[in-house]
Structure 1
Amino acid sequence: LPARTEETLFRHFCEQGMAADLASYSVTGTSFTDMIQSPPKSPRYSYGAARETWEQIFGHALVQAVSSAISIAGGAEPVGGQNRKRSTAAQRARDWFVSSYPLLGALAATFELIEEPTICGRLQISIAAVSDYGKEVYVHPAAGLTEAECRFVMAHELLHVALRHSMRCRGRDPFLWNVACDFVINEWLAEMRTVPQVGLLLDHSLKGLSAEAVYDRIVTDLRRFRRMGTFRGIGLGDILDAPSASWWATQAGRDLDAFYRNCLAQGLLYHHEQGRGLLPAALIEEIRALSQPPIPWEVELARWFDDCFPPLEKVRSYARPSRRQSSTPDIPRPRHLPAPLALDGRTFGVVLDTSGSMDRLLLGDCLGAIASYSESRDVPAARVVFCDAFAYDAGYMQPGDIAGRVKVRGRGGTVLQPGIDLLERAVDFPKSGPILIITDGFCDHFHVHREHAILLPEGRALPFTPQGKVFRFRRP
């Protein structure tokens, strides 16, 4: 072919077609092209922020490439983009946290800062992201952030790790949970410093709400919030994929989690001692709550039983006198017994998900805990209903029978509403009796019109917002 311009060859191929022998003249073969021209998944700037022209972006990249080449030639860095001694805006922001901001200084010193364009492009990072498992903070150098903007972005990512947002997901949608956490963190940081001009999730109507409360709000409008963009990009969470909940239960996971919690707790103490400025009250409350050890699900369930079944009041009774004293055999002594009719209606219902997806070992642990709590709270019997796609009424069972061998019926599909309706309409079940629902979360929406609680395995979630208390259990 004669030497022509790209436009001339393109028009020639469009009008006359391309010869078959030219199809193999490609560095990638006949099935692929060496230029990927798909549109970017997320714009560099959003939410009304100013865009840079392609000439400005090219100029910044050219300056970085020349600086990297000079550093390689001088031996300052072995590979392009890996010069840790080069003073970039992100490096200066990280050094500022270590030297001047003790709240996040320990975390900033622990995490490795990665500003490699190739790695950020492979991970689809538009501005920044964080990995709590790998102890890495990613900042895309092409974002063109100033030092003040880098401080905001880095504080945002470090707070994701310090507040354990990846562990608190608990079966929720990861991206929507990430968006909810972004709203909360950005509101705190906006109170402390100027908002950067890179576009971020900020809604003052959500001020004062926790991440869990914000999540419950945004799930009501999925079509809108699915299009939201984090610092990583539109539709992508800036908390990179974390290991499963089972890994955090291992010794290495517990040690890493305890390290992050201690860093934040000690940082808050040093921040107040050195007088480094005021912090939002909600952030301080969140840090102090995170410093407390989590309450086991057995303790939470015991509190629920205490609320539903207060201790029995004992009265003096001469119906069955106690042993008389030898010194005064003619004086009868009363006994302290529960008040008459105190045990009437002192019961609760158990709706047990017996579908095929329910783990029998977890099922046994829950039944054992329910039996022990029932016996300690003077509950003579509980109404048990097995439910898969149909409700099987097992009647009233004593705590000893529940703790023993129980014949479970079902192991089919999962529809819990028939079991709940059976208890609510039962003539021999108290109108004020609470209901305890044990399920694995793979069920349809159900309605309960009285006091109730739900037992869920760790890491699972219901397909709707529950009205009663939710306790998450796991095997030790």
Structure 2
Amino acid sequence: MHDRIVKQRAALVLSQPFFGALALRLAIVEDTTCESMWVDGVSLGYNPAYVDKLDDLELRGVLAHEVLHVANGHCWRMGLREQQRWNQACDYAVNPLVLNAQFKLPQGVLLDGRYLGKSAEEIYALLRQEESSQQPQQSAGGAGSPTPQPSDGEPSQAKSNGCGEVRQYTGADKPAVESEWRVAVSQAAKAAKMRGSLPGDLEHLVEAALRPSVDWRAVLHRFAAEAAHDDYSWKVPNRRYAHLGLYLPSLHSEAVGDAVFVRDSSGSVFDETQRQFAAEIVAMHQQLQPARLIVIDCDTRVTQVQTFARDEVVDLAPLKGGGGTSFKAPFAWLESEGIAPAFLVYLTDLDGGFPPAAPAYPVLWGSVTPLDRVAAPPFGECVEVIA
């Protein structure tokens, strides 16, 4: 075990108890195969050659950096995302917090003011969107063209992992480990607050980390199923009790009415999220078989409407739009067409003007902005959609 790491970890316990208490939970492992450091929620790996290049204050800052990755759940939230881009997104998310807590970090760490206050998932989507938008420009130059260099303050995607690598914990006890860390983060935050040493932005991070994660797809399917629920009907008597002379209702499934999905086409919802949302629209059509599937694209106005019958194959056209955001137009269009759907699902960033009154049908807002950063809609249910 590297003596300097132990010493700086002890310094964290005394000077920054939030970081120190959490750092003690990580087993320190020497790993000469890694470039710098890594963390997976259970262990902290380090390359001695990298540690030797850091002064004591930088080493303390890097330890705080690694602790924040675990405290923020980065070690179990990557999912199917690409590893290197996820590492970069996580670094962009935690580095400002580390610096704001008065730590020192090594030269060249990932920092960008555009990502301040955003989650790793949001930053990942932004990085992916930026990379996709640059690809046509890069390919247009031909085979002999030089590779474009990033502008100042925008590190290239090929840059090293900086302070370290966020590894995903894959043990069979992952749920228990994650739960233990939630408790530990909460306890460390309370202890630090009692000493007056928990910065406001870290308090916000703790609140976000302690919120239970919700699979928006499960919420979407539950909402749609409930909105199109089966009910008891007297139209068809229950034959099970007919021989007793009892005329009782039977469980009768009425045909599901129109299902409406609205896609915010203002540009605030990234391509990957739109693709995943489109996949869920198709799945919902197959599962519920509504009378009609109506998909509306809208920025400040309705830019496209696609309608599919119950037995029709759903092949969604590309998103149309790109202006500002207003939520009034889709509801007004449905009213003008005399359509009262079984339910409506709206994918958006929740930054826009709402209708003056709630419609009579159920509405689910899928917010691509974390719910703790936006005001609740005046009506309907809301779920956070992070792709």
Please, what TM-score do these two structures have when normalized by structure 2? Answer: 0.54
Equivalent residue, structure 1, for 2:45: 137
| Distance in 2, Cα, partners of 1:472 & 1:193 | 30
Q: Relative to structure 1, is the Cα distance of residues 348 and 470 closer, same or farther in structure 2, using a 3 angstrom cutoff?
A: farther
Q: Does the Cα contact within 8 Å between 1:350 and 1:383 map onto a contact in 2?
A: no
Q: CA deviation at 1:416?
A: 3.2
Q: CA deviation at 1:130?
A: 1.5
Structure having the larger proportion of residues in strand: 2
**Which of 188, 194, 208 lines up with 1:289 in the alignment?**
208
| Residue 417, structure 1, aligned to residue 317, structure 2 | yes
Match of 2:161 among 230, 249, 258: 230
- Which amino acid is 2:179 matched to? A
Q: Structure 1: where are the runs of 5+ without partners?
A: 1-83, 310-344, 352-357, 372-380, 386-390, 396-407, 438-450, 455-467
2:109–2:162 CA contact under 8 A, matched in 1: yes
Q: Please say if 1:92 is aligned against 2:7.
A: yes
Pair 1:366–1:169, CA change in 2 (3 A): farther
Aligned to 1:104: 19
Percent identity, aligned pairs only?
22
How far off is 1:270 after superposition? 0.5
Given that residues 71 and 182 in structure 2 are in contact (C-alpha distance below 8 angstroms), is that contact kept between their aligned partners in structure 1?
yes
Contact 2:115 2:123 in 1 (8 A): yes
- 2 CA distance for matches of 1:296 and 1:285? 21
2:123 counterpart letter in structure 1? V
Contact 2:28 2:45 in 1 (8 A): yes
Separation in 2, partners of 1:298, 1:228: 34
Instruction: Tell me what 2:182 maps to.
Output: 261
What is the alpha-carbon distance in structure 2 between the residues aligned to residue 392 and residue 177 of structure 1? 37
Residue aligned with 2:212, SS = coil
Any conservation in 1 of the 2:291–2:309 contact (CA below 8 Å)? no
State whether structure 2 residue 292 is matched by structure 1 residue 383: yes
Alignment of 1:73-92 (within 5 A): 84=1, 87=3, 89-92=4-7
Q: Which amino acid aligns with 1:168?
A: R
Aligned length: 267
**Residue 173 and residue 432 in structure 1: after superposition, are their counterparts in 2 closer, same or farther (change >3 A)?**
farther
- CA shift digits 1:170-211 (9 cap, x unpaired): 433332222122112111111122533432112234333333
Alpha-carbon distance in structure 2 between the residues aligned to 1:218 and 1:472: 14
Q: Secondary structure at the match of 1:175?
A: helix
TM-score, normalised to structure 1, is 0.45
User: How much does 1:302 deviate?
Assistant: 8.2
Q: Secondary structure at 2:129's aligned position in 1?
A: coil
User: Match of 1:184, SS?
Assistant: helix
**Counterpart among 173, 176, 190 of residue 99 in structure 2:** 190
SS in 1 for 2:159: coil
Residues 151-187 of structure 1: CA deviation (Å, up to 9, x unaligned): 1001111111111113322433332222122112111
Q: Higher relative contact order by CA 8 Å / sep ≥ 6: 1 or 2?
A: 2
Rounded to whole Å, the distance in 2 between the matches of 1:186 and 1:230 is 12
Cα contact 2:257–2:292 (8 A) shared by 1? no
- Give the superposed CA RMSD: 4.8
Determine helix, strand or coil for the equivalent of 2:39.
Answer: strand
Task: Summarize the Cα distance change of 1:415–1:453 in structure 2 as closer, same or farther, 3 Å threshold.
Answer: farther
Bigger Rg over Cα: 1
State the SS of the aligned residue for 2:292.
strand
SS of the equivalent of 1:136 reads strand
Q: Taking structure 1 as reference, are residues 186 and 350 closer, same or farther at Cα in structure 2, changes over 3 Å only?
A: closer
Equivalent in the alignment of 1:240? 167
Contact 1:137 1:157 survives alignment (8 Å): no
Give the SS at the match of 1:221: helix
**Structure 2 unmatched ranges of 5 or more:** 135-149, 151-155, 229-255, 263-278, 295-305, 321-332, 347-362, 367-381
Q: Alpha carbons of 1:241 and 1:211: their partners in 2 closer, same or farther (altered >3 Å)?
A: closer
Match of 1:177 in 2: 86
Task: Name the SS of the counterpart of 2:165 in structure 1.
Answer: coil
**1:129 aligned counterpart, secondary structure:** strand
> How far does residue 472 in structure 1 lie from its aligned partner after superposition?
8.6
